[in-house]
Structure 1
Amino acid sequence: MIYFLLLLMGFSQETFSNSLYSKYGIGILRPYAGASYFGQGNIGIAAYSPIALQYLNPASLAYLTRTRFEGSFLFERANVKLNNNTGKFSDSGFNTLHIGIPMADGYALGFGLMPYSIIAHTYEDVVDGEYRSELEGTGGLERAFFRLSGMIGKKFAYGAGFDVYFGRLERTWRVYFDNATYNKTEDVTSTTAVGMSGHVGFLIELHQKLHIAGMINAPASLNTKTQTDYVFRTENDITEGEIKLPLTQGYGLNFKPNSRFTLLADFEASNWGSLAASEILGAKTTDTKRYGVGIEFVPSRKFNESVWKKMSYRLGFNMGNLPYLVAGEKVNEKFVNAGLTLPYNAFNSQMEIGLEYGKRGDANQIGSEENIIRFIFGIASGEKWFVRPERRRKD
């Protein structure tokens, strides 16, 4: 008997792979701070900017000075080790969309779309001379959001919004028998989910150089409809249920010792361990914690400087754990980040490039691990024609 794992790599939206651990629950979660902050540790609860959008804290919108549009593209590759077998996963495509619009009296609104989780894996189990089984997973949850932000005085920003979670999570199990007298079997379990929740945040200036911030994502209950098709038996079952998402809270620091440097630090915690297996598609869960630090260096913001001096350079680090238990143990992950911003159009627009490299899991502890590299490319724009005429703003 020979047992081995075959990991398949693909690039189209229909056939791609992301992570071995995406087979659990709702898949791999997608924390994302924004294209401008990905290279700074993919953090930024206390980050704010008049020209950059961030996803973690709605209060940051209050600092926008003109309408901003941001979109990003993601490429990810994972080298996987499972027992004595190795393989590769790869994924690429659209990542996020975010629009922020400043309004009168210090208010601002924003809306966008981002992935919340992703399921993407394909592998085989072969029993020599008997059968070959294949397990494939696709889909995930998306998060659409709408938020409002405002200021109290000049040092306290607040924000709140609502989220719509939706998606399709599909897992297919196939068995091919070596004996021609047996027919191929295929079971397809497809779950559609939709639900709403909300989020709030604040950002306070304690000192000209120091800001603190906090945010809360409220728990969510997603209504689900699961259909299981048994192809060999030409039968199907349809059941209704719920997927639960837990409370998440996070806190951040933003320290600017001078005009060139910005230091960020974040902490996030989610009580995934409070969920029953029946509330998260059969997965065994554990609470999650995530830590991160990052630094940004901007040599100059003068229009007449060289390109290299106008660029922003970032480094960061983040670590945490997945919400699932594997072999009864937590799955930890650690990443280092680097990134840069290339401004153009008199600093009204910018191109963002971010890299992240790290490790997820531990082959010695849980029998599997992944070495991961991610690449983010983003475009942010705030053209002058987005700004309302001065006369109209005075009305």
Structure 2
Amino acid sequence: MIHEEKENIVSEGEWRGLVLFLLFILAGLSLTPDSLLADSMFAGHYLGIPVSATDARSRAMGGVSVAISGEDFSFSNPARTATFWRSGFNATVAQDYRSLKDSNGKIGLRSTEFLAFRGIFPTYKNFIVSWGIHQWRDLTWNYSDKVRLAQLPNDLLRSFSSEGGLYVSRLAVARALSSHLALGLGMDWMIGRTDRKRILGFSNASYYNSIEVINTKYSFLRPTFGLMASYKHLNLGVSVSLSRTADVDQSSAFGTLDQNNNSVVHYTDKQTYRLKYPFCWRIGGTWKITRRSAIGLEYQVERWSQSTLSAVPPTAPADLRRYSFGLELLPSASENPLFFRKFPLRFGFSHTCYPFKIGGFKVTERVFSFGGGKYFGGNVGLADIAVEFVNRKTGVAGYPEESVLRVVFSLSAFEKWVPRPRRR
């Protein structure tokens, strides 16, 4: 734990602390590709890894969700909950198996992620009320490396880490105005924090190891509007989240570490700055091509290039753009189907350009996915699973490539006294 130093610090100690602080800034300005041994090699850039706000059913279809019918708990479109005929709850979690590959070899990492929880409740006069929370950005990472500075006789050991994330809590209401049109309104409260730590080990008795801790808190409110229209076998959906400017609170402390890793603070600082969050929209559609199959397309944009969030070179802001494609095959209607045709089968693909560039190069994510689901307990329970094969990369020379095998599991529970709605 960092604690305050006693008041009798000698001037020599203050001078040494200032020198260490300047060396700290020099050593921490940038991360080399060789340093990226992390939970995700891209999570330390800009505002972290974007996380899709969809449940396992939609993830198996490449993230297609803005115009999908049936009991799907994704957050992409507030109007889409108008298709619910009974109350239900859903929780979604994921298990990630990451593989980082660069010129130094390969490293494997594993993590469990909470993705979302949501409850949806049909109420008076066909209004559907819902509340839930989902992960929006992943800001947990850990980097370490060695660098050589001309001012130091030995290698400098650097450790950079962050814990935290950004989450969106949404209270929404939706209503079907007719059999062909539904509207929805959601109030999004984004909350989150990051605790970042940077440690420099000088490997020299003449220097104290140094530590900097930066705690950042984020919060804002903004509305999201949604519309869903259907005609015969075609569904169309669109959602829009308005731009919002809000305060960000940040506190930092810089100090030194003794041989027992106890820290002494030399400098502290607190500041509040304004951050403009981007205008976001997505549009998509699903088409029922046969009685037991449907395809879906979706396109999403977040205008981070218009945000006021600063980026440390070589990182620069860019718009997030994602397109998705999905296919769903409902269970076979035959009396004795093959085992794998007793369940809905889903397949999908998505391609995302991340909301930042590195050295002028785009950072892209490509996902192939498949999955299925099953009602149980007299149709009051629903389990969905999706398997995603994720690849993240950039064109920066020598930059590592990241592969992720992600298994997503959603579990839903519904009220039992209402007949199960059919997925249309």
Range of TM-score over shorter length: 0.7 to 0.9
* Aligned mates of 2:309, 2:242 — CA distance in 1: 20
- 166 and 281 in structure 1: CA distance in 2 versus 1, 3 angstrom threshold: farther
Matching residue within 160, 170, 178 for 2:203:
178
1:211 equivalent to 2:235? Answer yes
**Which residue is 2:135 aligned to?**
115
For residues 314-355 of structure 1, give each alpha carbon's deviation from its aligned partner in whole angstroms, at most 9, with x where no partner exists.
000000111011112110111101111021123332111111
For residues 162-215 of structure 1, give each alpha carbon's deviation from its aligned partner in whole angstroms, at most 9, with x where no partner exists.
000111122211011211232110011111111111101111112x21111111
Matching residue within 379, 400, 406 for 1:347:
379
RMSD across aligned positions (CA): 2.4
Shift of residue 75, structure 1, vs aligned partner: 1.2
**Which residue is 1:134 aligned to?**
159
- Give, as a single letter, the amino acid of the residue that structure 2 aligns with 1:177: F
* Aligned mates of 2:66, 2:391 — CA distance in 1: 24
Do the aligned residues in 1 keep the contact of 2:78 with 2:185 (CA within 8 Å)? Answer: yes
Shift of residue 31, structure 1, vs aligned partner: 1.6
- 77 and 29 in structure 1: CA distance in 2 versus 1, 3 angstrom threshold: same
Identity between Structure 1 and Structure 2 (%): 21
- Gap regions ≥5 residues in structure 1: 9-16, 389-395
1:373 equivalent to 2:405? Answer yes
* Aligned mates of 1:220, 1:339 — CA distance in 2: 36
Do the aligned residues in 1 keep the contact of 2:359 with 2:396 (CA within 8 Å)? Answer: no
**Which residue is 1:11 aligned to?**
none
**Which residue is 1:74 aligned to?**
94
- 258 and 104 in structure 1: CA distance in 2 versus 1, 3 angstrom threshold: farther
Shift of residue 311, structure 1, vs aligned partner: 1.5
What is the aligned length?
374
Do the aligned residues in 2 keep the contact of 1:77 with 1:373 (CA within 8 Å)? Answer: yes
Q: Secondary structure at the match of 2:175?
A: strand
Q: Secondary structure at the match of 1:256?
A: strand
Q: Secondary structure at the match of 1:153?
A: coil
* Aligned mates of 1:277, 1:191 — CA distance in 2: 13
**Which residue is 2:255 aligned to?**
231
Matching residue within 291, 296, 309 for 1:264:
296
Shift of residue 105, structure 1, vs aligned partner: 2.5
Shift of residue 302, structure 1, vs aligned partner: 9.5
For residues 20-72 of structure 1, give each alpha carbon's deviation from its aligned partner in whole angstroms, at most 9, with x where no partner exists.
111112211112322221101122111121x3322111111111110011001
**Which residue is 1:287 aligned to?**
319
* Aligned mates of 1:82, 1:172 — CA distance in 2: 25
Matching residue within 227, 231, 245 for 1:221:
245
1:328 equivalent to 2:360? Answer yes
Matching residue within 65, 79, 88 for 2:108:
88
Shift of residue 218, structure 1, vs aligned partner: 1.4
- Give, as a single letter, the amino acid of the residue that structure 2 aligns with 1:353: I
- Gap regions ≥5 residues in structure 2: 1-31, 149-153, 257-264, 420-424
Shift of residue 124, structure 1, vs aligned partner: 1.2
